[in-house]
């Protein structure tokens, strides 16, 4: 089984909804993430620079969902995945987003999985090491 990092129960605020009135103000969105990563470098070094930083992952999702409005949960989920997959250490990612209480107490959930296509930016720690080798 591949290594995974899961962040469960993220509570986000987003302007999302098919109707313009729904997008007028931020609403609660619940989300869970599963990131397919190789945890061996971080486990070996015990150094955050070698790990996918959980706080940075959450901050990325918060920035993405608060930075614009979305008509669909599918679009919101895709925007989060695209931002997260800029870190090429993340091989693939699955996100589940929910809009609680929308359907008379029922909660719609969208689940999307995307793979990293290898065109992503270097992780910050790897950039630092590359620059250090040049000097």
Q: Is 91 a catalytic residue?
A: no
Among candidate residues 99, 119, 127, 134, the one labeled active-site is 99
Asked whether 35 and 52 are in contact (CB, 8 A), the reply is yes
Please, which residues have CB within 8 angstroms of residue 98's CB and are 6 or more apart in sequence? 29, 30, 31, 107, 108, 109, 110
Rounded Cα gap, residues 40 and 37, in angstroms: 9
Rounded Cα gap, residues 84 and 89, in angstroms: 10
SS3 47: coil
> Count of CB atoms within 10 A of residue 78's CB?
17
Residues annotated as catalytic (active site), given as ranges: 99
């Amino acid at each position: 089984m591949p290594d995974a990092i899961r962040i469960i129960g993220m509570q986000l605020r987003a302007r999302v909804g098919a109707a313009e009135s729904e997008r007028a103000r931020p609403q609660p969105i619940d989300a869970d993430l599963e990131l397919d990563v190789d945890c061996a470098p971080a486990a070996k070094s015990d150094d955050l620079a070698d790990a996918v930083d959980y706080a940075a992952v959450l901050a990325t999702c918060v920035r993405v969902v608060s930075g614009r409005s979305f008509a669909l949960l599918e679009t919101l989920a895709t925007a989060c995945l695209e931002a997260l997959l800029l870190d090429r250490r993340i091989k693939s990612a699955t996100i589940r987003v929910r809009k609680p209480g929308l359907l008379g107490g029922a909660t719609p959930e969208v689940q999307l999985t995307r793979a990293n296509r290898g065109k992503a930016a270097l992780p910050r720690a790897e950039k630092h090491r590359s620059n250090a080798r040049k000097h």
